Amino acid sequence: MGQLNTFPLSYKVQGLRIVIVGGGEEALNKVRLVTKTTAQVVIISRQIEADFSGFAVQVIERAFAPSDLDGAALVFVAEESADAELAKAEARARGIPLNVVDVPAECDFYTPSIVDRAPLTIAISSEGNAPVLARLVRARIEAMLSPGFGKIASLAGSLRQRVEGLIHDGAARRRYYEALVTSPQVEAAVVSSPVAGRYEAEVLLDQHVKQGEAKGVVWLIGAGPGSEDLLTLRAQRLLQEADVIVHDQLVPSVVVDMGRRDAERIDVGKAKGHHSFSQAQINTLIVRLAGQGKKVARLKSGDPMIFGRAGEEISALRKAGIQYQIVPGISAALAAAADTATPVTLRKVSSGFIMATAHGADDSDLAHWASLAQSGLTLALYMGKSIASEVAAQLVAHGASPATPVGIVVNAGRSNVSTYSGNLRSLIECQVTFSLGPAIIFVGEAVEAGDWADAAQLAGMSFKVA
């Protein structure tokens, strides 16, 4: 996501004046927009040409005077004239935010396109770059939100104190509001009359109070390899619902940021060598949070069931009688296969695909290395970057041919992906320094069918690309 040069905010204009200098069509356009507010709108120009009669505005046909800006919250300049220049200078001198129609360089602020379901307002801005696009987006949102939405928002506002008095837990309160704004009964009622709306809202409130503090839940969510758009829609939805997000270090902040803005975020960062939380502590943490009635998103990189310690967390949740749900994610090996167009299963070449840990590179786990070396299948080795040469040596020692193709993908599924190609022998001999980031090591004949043309070559070995 790029950075904003402007900051969207809701600016109080109640009881203040909005001054528009100009009397033509452009002034009229601004009038349409600002008369949605309760501010006093004043139009000043020597030449009033447009018809402002349909709007609650004060039209003054005369030269601009600096005192016109007394009590002004915002100033729009919508004509080119000596008066306009005077108004601009005066607004700047007084520090009143200024908008000069169609001259972005002179503007302190831009006016967004507005979807008006007062008090609910959605403002769409392109920082003055593409008003047409902003209007298109606005039309789509208009179509999405029923006209009753504003009334529901007012209703929610009027219930606030009562709800706070009856439901003390913040998460439970939010669940009530969620139910309120999505209830078809409430919407139908509120559109017909405020009293009917209030009645339906009370019925719903009663149900929620009776339900008591709802029980918490833990979602074990796969965050994918590290790009927002490789997240599943379900993961995205649950992240929006979660009260707490408990995430690993490997989950990049762009994904963690997709959660609700006010959700609590806990980094249990298990970066290599910095065990800030032990697995046992994480188990205890998620059980405790859910026990408090919270919705917990336990966010893990890739897929939670693959080298994600999900087994331990699930068994702790079962023991504590806490509800849980698993949301699959794109595992790093699959992202790596996609990045390099490597078909990990390939007719007549590889009849299967093994996801395995590269740890246990010491001799202790003979069966592990023997079965991998002799499988004849494509291997995707996790957690092996820092011991890549030892891994290759183990495979060769257990019977794999030194000529077996190898492909390594660092930062799979991310914009900063980098790749390396060679074979087991070259991996044993190479002195390559891999780029920073997690890596998948592919081993097997099918690797050669991938597109490794851009890969750095390990000790001068590379694949021929068909």
Our CB check for ligand SAH shows the closer of 301 and 462 to be: 301
Task: Give the one residue of 40, 113, 125, 331 binding ligand SAH; rule: CB under 6 A.
Answer: 331
Which residues 232-251 are close enough to bind ligand SAH by CB under 6 A?
250
Compute the least distance from the CB of residue 306 to ligand SAH, in Å: 4
Return the SS3 of 116.
strand
Task: Give the one residue of 22, 216, 413, 444 binding ligand SAH; rule: CB under 6 A.
Answer: 413
Residue with tokens 């939380």: 277
Task: Give the one residue of 155, 383, 395, 458 binding ligand SAH; rule: CB under 6 A.
Answer: 383
Q: What is the DSSP string of 378-442?
A: EEEEES-GGGHHHHHHHHHHTT--TT-EEEEEESTTSTT-EEEEEEHHHHHH----PPSS-EEEE
Q: Would you give the distance in Å from CA 338 to the centre of its chain?
A: 23
Distances (CA, A) of 44 to 56, 75, 210: 14, 11, 59
| Residues 298 and 313: beta-carbon distance below 8 Å | yes
Cis, peptide link before residue 119, omega less than 30° from 0: yes
Q: Closest Cα partner for 186 from 144, 160, 151, 141? A: 151
Compute the least distance from the CB of residue 379 to ligand SAH, in Å: 12
Tell me: does residue 332 bind ligand SAH (CB under 6 A). Answer: yes
Tell me: does residue 412 bind ligand SAH (CB under 6 A). Answer: yes
By beta carbon distance, the residue nearest ligand SAH is 302
Selected range binding ligand SAH among 55-63, 298-306, 317-325, 369-377, rule: CB under 6 A:
298-306
**120: region left, alpha or beta (phi > 0 left; psi from -120 to 50 alpha):** beta
Our CB check for ligand SAH shows the closer of 34 and 409 to be: 409
Tell me: does residue 252 bind ligand SAH (CB under 6 A). Answer: no
Our CB check for ligand SAH shows the closer of 293 and 438 to be: 438
Our CB check for ligand SAH shows the closer of 151 and 414 to be: 414
Tell me: does residue 407 bind ligand SAH (CB under 6 A). Answer: no
Tell me: does residue 300 bind ligand SAH (CB under 6 A). Answer: yes
270 counts as catalytic = yes
| Token representation of residue 99 | 């908008």
Work out the number of other CB atoms within 10 angstroms of the CB of residue 59: 18
| Residues 42 and 19: beta-carbon distance below 8 Å | yes
The values of phi and psi at residue 74, to 5°, are -145, 150
Tell me: does residue 84 bind ligand SAH (CB under 6 A). Answer: no
Our CB check for ligand SAH shows the closer of 17 and 385 to be: 385
Selected range binding ligand SAH among 12-20, 93-101, 205-213, 296-304, rule: CB under 6 A:
296-304
Our CB check for ligand SAH shows the closer of 74 and 358 to be: 358
| Residues 395 and 212: beta-carbon distance below 8 Å | no
Which residues 29-68 are close enough to bind ligand SAH by CB under 6 A?
none
Q: Name the residues annotated as catalytic.
A: 248, 270
Query: Which stretches of the chain bind ligand SAH, using CB under 6 A?
Result: 225-226, 250, 300-303, 306-308, 331-332, 336, 382-383, 409, 411-414, 438-440
